[in-house]
A and B are shown apart, each in its own frame.
Chain A
């Protein structure tokens, strides 16, 4: 992995500029044999420069401290004017050249500046402006990269949603088509076959009544065979219809069946609203929810009765299962519902979340499970 800390950055370049300036000032101090006061000035400039490196984004007006120190030091040590290059460097880097204006006044006080001073100022200005330009370029690139990263994330999220929607649509389309075929067969083919079967039976009875005796043996045989074939066709049709219906997702009927067949406790089911609006995939979540609630409420809460309500609203379907009277739990190891639910409840939560809903379980006072799933708004409903 590439280490970014070792890369040369504008801040590192400016720090190098600061250290170079301070080193030159220190060499000058050594060369001229100055005393403690002048060293104090150099150290003060060093502390200010290092504090800007250590604590970034200091206000630009703090540069006035550097300039004041330089101004004070020039009264003792004329070469201290070279130290003004440091605040000039900082001002150019921070883009606050107005704070370098007092430098002009200081230079004016000193008279005509020498070539070393002008050279130091020019170098500091160029380094500061170069560092600023570099820093702004990097910032712009960073912002651009951030924007692209954000867009990529958005696209990935959208792709995931589309895949999920696609799967849901395919599942729903399959279920709807099977339902439609089952209805068609039941309503039309089944009706026609039933009518034919009844007609054949009626024909046999009438013929027997008119003749008063057994008829032609071959005709009777053919009639019986036709009746048997129609009957077989009807049986085959019923069997096909059962096969076409979604397995375990039969809707309200299966719901009622679960409630009716739950032997350990009495279950009272109350249904409100138009259950035809509940999509097949929602039934695939609601039915396991009901089973899990009844099973958990009995096993962990010792419930002897349950009140189940299924409410279909304009935009949600809500299943609530509440335990009624309870009995003491006798079986060892069957304590209260664990916090957060067991594996079954966790799976149900995941399934509910996958279709945009949620499952809540409360076991503090009795057992209570609420599952809420979103529904498509009915056509023409106010949003």
Chain B
């Protein structure tokens, strides 16, 4: 687990990461409820925070692809798959701790306005994995670091907007609402909404299953990085 430990240390070497991964989400837990939104504002937008946190963490993997670390791994007694697996595990652990802190703090601050905290934590955790895999797949498509950063951040912003992470899907035109269903963000919103409405657990589980399948598909794309 050397790579795992290295990835954990590396994630917090950047002060921006520390600020965005730790302080920002915890601050969001204190945001009040807004009329028209089912959840407190911080939790309504928390999906977007997870999406961008995953991108921030995975910048190191994008950098590795550009700086030739993957080529050096090819000459080391370590498979690229293991390197990637341990790195993703470390980042998933960071995001899980962040989710747990957010949900725990939210339960304390918001009280009963937060539906089924354990299931909410599970939904955010699954979405964290999906976010990591989306950023991984996006990063694998680009050879240039700046292009990768710009394109990915723009893509994630569009994804969050269409997926309903910033505002309710009901206020969007019907055809956009329909397109939103093919984004993973929509299924996070759907799962959280099911919990808020106290809806059937089967529907909640289906939403999680869709996110899991999205994660696997993006992981498959992202893990096939060419060495040269």
A: residues with CB less than 8 A from B are: 5, 26, 30, 33, 36-37, 39-40, 43-44, 46-47, 50-51, 53-54
Contact = CB atoms under 8 A, between A and B. Distances in A.
Instruction: Tell me if A's interface is mostly helix, strand, loop or mixed.
Output: helix
A47 B178 contact: no
Given A47-B216, A50-B217, A39 B224 contact: no
B210 interface: yes
A30 B206 contact: no
Among A5, A33, A40, A47, residue most surrounded by chain B Cβ atoms (within 10 Å): A47
Interface in B135-191: 178-179, 181-182, 187, 190
Contacts, number: 44
Contact of B210 (A26, A33, A43, A54): A43
Contact of B220 (A5, A36, A37, A50): A50
B221 interface: yes
Interface string B190-228: 100000000000010011011001101100110110101
Contact of B209 (A26, A40, A50): A40
Nearest to A35: B206
A53 B220 CA distance: 9
B179 A43 contact: no
B220 A51 contact: yes
A54 B223 contact: yes
A93 to B, nearest CB: 18
Contact of A40 (B178, B182, B210, B226): B210
A43 B190 CA distance: 17
Looking at chain B's contact residues, the main secondary structure is helix
8 shortest interchain CB distances as A-B pairs: A43-B213, A50-B220, A36-B206, A54-B220, A47-B216, A54-B224, A46-B217, A47-B217
Contacts of A5: 226, 228
B210 A36 contact: yes
Contact of B221 (A26, A37, A50): A50
Contacts of A37: 206
A39 B179 CA distance: 12
Contact of B182 (A30, A44, A53): A30
A171 to B, nearest CB: 44
B181 A43 contact: no
Contacts of A30: 178-179, 181-182
A109 B226 CA distance: 44
Given A39-B181, A44-B213, A54-B224, 16 more contacts: A26-B182, A30-B178, A30-B181, A30-B182, A33-B178, A36-B203, A36-B206, A36-B209, A39-B182, A39-B210, A40-B210, A43-B210, A46-B213, A47-B216, A47-B217, A50-B220
Contacts of B213: 40, 43-44, 46-47
